[in-house]
A = this chain, B = another copy of it.
Amino acid sequence: MADADLETGQVEAAYSANVLGNALEGAFALGQDLLWEVGINRIPVVNVENACTSGSTALHLACLAIAAGAAEIVAVVGVERMSTRKGAIPAGALTPEGAVGFLTPAVFAVRARAYLETFGGRAEDLALVAVKNLKNASLNPNAVVQTAVTYEEVLGSPMVADPLTRLQCCPMCDGAAALILGSPAAARRLSSNPVWITASVLASGSYPSILDQARWEMDVRAARRAYELAGIGPADLDLAEVHDAFTISEVLHYEGLGFCGEGEGLSWLLEGHPFPGGGLPVNPSGGLLGRGHPLAATGVAQVVELNRQLRGRAGLGQVPGAKTALAHCMGGDKQADGKSITVMILQG
């Protein structure tokens, strides 16, 4: 609100994302409560849950509300409290897969194994994703991780699900992020250098055979549509925030989002492209691995970070001259393809 120089009374609608509040704290229609705490009431408020794409889905809905002419100025919030007094996260344990130990890290370990078997490469090289993202996080005061780590430290951290060590799994944490979205007219009125969302794509998985874990069809489909809407291609991107829930995720997303060809993700990483100063810095904020992954806050936080980048306010992590960026979230890993995906293109 302060950044947009807005009074609470100017916000016409709000989209609020949260995943675990219901299950852990019996919090229903949470958005109304938190908005009321900051003096916003009476307006349309929608509470969204879309697994790990909850925050970006809320943002997508805000775009639709503006496109529909239903509001000129919309607030988007993503909040998550994972360090609740109740402690355990019950979701996985309630599924048949979870009950036998096939929790999220195991799902992604299977994906890593499938990827390496299909396309070759060394499992140890995945650690470079964590080295990069935790280093980036150490330069971002909003990140939960504030210490860079070495390749050896990543590989030496406790094994969670082979080949994924603990530092290759994103940390759960509390977090919140918020954005103000305006119609084109409102954005021009409120800011001398607004950032434009030139594409917002929400899609769900095609749920193919669980045997195909080495490719992310959902990524390919959603990214193509986003590039088409924005009238650009991956070569036009200056930076990207992608859903690196695990190191293998980021490598798969390089390919799915068209940053490199199929099966080329690991070599693209080894060649340095996604590092700061590379051709297409990926997760300069630290990503999920370094910034942390407070579920519903993540999709909003990505765009907060890209907004800073595109306005030249990203501090030590600034990508010089950043003009065009991509934000990507995926959620729900029960099926091979995921349950939900968002791809957004932002332009400064």
Q: Which of A's residues lie within 8 Å of B, judged by CB? A: 19-20, 22-23, 25-26, 28-29, 32-33, 35-36, 41-51, 57, 60-61, 64-65, 67-70, 90-95, 202-207, 218, 221, 331-332, 334-335, 339-340
- A50 with B29: CB separation less than 8 A: yes
Known interface pairs A48-B47, A67-B70, A91-B28; A206-B42 also in contact (CB < 8 Å): yes
How distant is A79 from chain B, measured CB to nearest CB, in Å?
13
**A46 touches which one: B28, B32, B57 (CB < 8 A)?**
B57
Known interface pairs A26-B90, A42-B205, A205-B41; A32-B340 also in contact (CB < 8 Å): yes
Q: How far is the CA of A205 from the CA of B33 in the complex (A)?
A: 10
How many copies make up the complex?
2
Q: How far is the CA of A25 from the CA of B44 in the complex (A)?
A: 28
Known: A36-B335, A49-B49, A64-B64. 5 other contacts (CB 8 A): A26-B92, A26-B93, A32-B204, A44-B202, A48-B49
**A204 touches which one: B45, B67, B218, B339 (CB < 8 A)?**
B45
Q: How far is the CA of A42 from the CA of B95 in the complex (A)?
A: 23
Q: Return chain B residues, CB-CB under 8 Å to A69.
A: 67
How distant is A330 from chain B, measured CB to nearest CB, in Å?
11
- A332 with B32: CB separation less than 8 A: yes
